[in-house]
Amino acid sequence: MHESSPARSQRRQAVALAVRVAYAVAVSVASLATGWFAGAATAGTREGLAALERSDYPDALRELVPAAEQGDAAAQAALGRMYLYGWGVAKEPAVAARWLQRAAESGHAGSQRLLAHLYESGTGVPKDVAQAERWRQASAAAASKAAPRPPVRYKDYEDRNLVIDGKVYPQETALMRAIKRGDREAVLALLGLGADVNATAGDHTALTIAVIYFPAVVEVLLAHGADPRGRSGSGDQPLSILLETGWNARSPDDCPRLATVRSLVAAGADVNARNNAGESVLRRARNIYERCPDRNAIIRLLVERGATE
């Protein structure tokens, strides 16, 4: 008996949905092998990171603290970010810096990069340009030794049935396409599959795309090692691009949010970067539509962090 076309279509959709759900459930564990949390050595760390991925902060703390105290660098890195960003705990930059320092000394590249920013800005530690440069170089050296991963293109994304539309987008990585679609589950799945979060295509990175189309995943990308200083073809860093979206905002939903700016700055975005046209980050912030609710708070934050025009 031959299956009708509508039945085949429904079956394909059901299979695609099942695959999506399976990836969404499994990705918090799969993503531990890549990105920021690479190197989780203990079961407690793996469980803690899975809890962190689903925003179950009490469970994450219960699992991560013992593992971190036993020397697991991935657990130390996760605790550092929890205390730095206030994920389920009070923001304590000094506590964050101590955990990140321990992870960095164990060779954790993401912690080395973030620790460099803390020393550069004097966040949680005394400002120390020499220490900032030391950890920046250590992070770069670790990155250069890492085995390169080819970017997962949209065809791979399609082949895994995460999206079935018969299209291939050669100027975008799969991750970029998922971000443009606002598909958080697919973003997580692709990161779990090993998508290169810093791959470039069409003069953009995943992070420069996210600040335009889907700011809600900016923190996820940063947690997987996205470079907050990576530039677009126009020479703009993600922070500058995010602020530019506020220039022609037509409603509060279109406005850049203070929380996203904080995340980018805390991850190491250069508040004094200029694009190819010489435009500063602070100038972009001052050009945000006056009715955007976070405009003044964003400007204050940038000035506090040393931004100038």
Beta bridge partners of 274: 280
Question: Is 180 within 8 Å of 161 (Cβ atoms)?
Answer: no
Domain map (residue ranges) of the chain: 45-145, 167-305
Q: Where are the alpha helices (DSSP H) in 54-183?
A: 57-69, 73-85, 93-105, 109-121, 129-145, 154-159, 174-180
Chain-centre distance for alpha carbon 243: 17
Average pLDDT over residues 287-307: 92
Least Cα distance to 123 among 89, 163, 157, 96 occurs for 96
Place of tokens 């126009």: 234
Chain-centre distance for alpha carbon 11: 35
C-alpha 78/C-alpha 52 separation (Å) is 8
Instruction: Count how many residues are written for the chain.
Output: 309
Top-ranked range on mean pLDDT: pick from 93-102, 167-176, 267-276: 93-102
Query: 195 in helix, strand or coil?
Result: coil
pLDDT for residue 70:
92
- Picking from 127-131, 147-151, 169-173, which range would have the lowest pLDDT averaged per residue? 147-151
Model-level pTM greater than 0.85? no
Assigned superfamily of 167-305: Ankyrin repeat-containing domain (1.25.40.20)
Tens digit of each residue's pLDDT (9 = 90 or more) over 67-108: 999 999 888 988 998 898 787 899 899 999 999 999 999 988
- Picking from 6-15, 86-95, 268-277, 293-302, which range would have the lowest pLDDT averaged per residue? 6-15
Q: For residue 237, is pLDDT > 90?
A: yes
Per-residue confidence at 39, pLDDT binned at 50, 70, 90? very low
Per-residue confidence at 147, pLDDT binned at 50, 70, 90? low
Per-residue confidence at 128, pLDDT binned at 50, 70, 90? very high
For the chain, count helices (H), then strands (E).
Answer: 16, 0
> What CATH class has 45-145?
mainly alpha
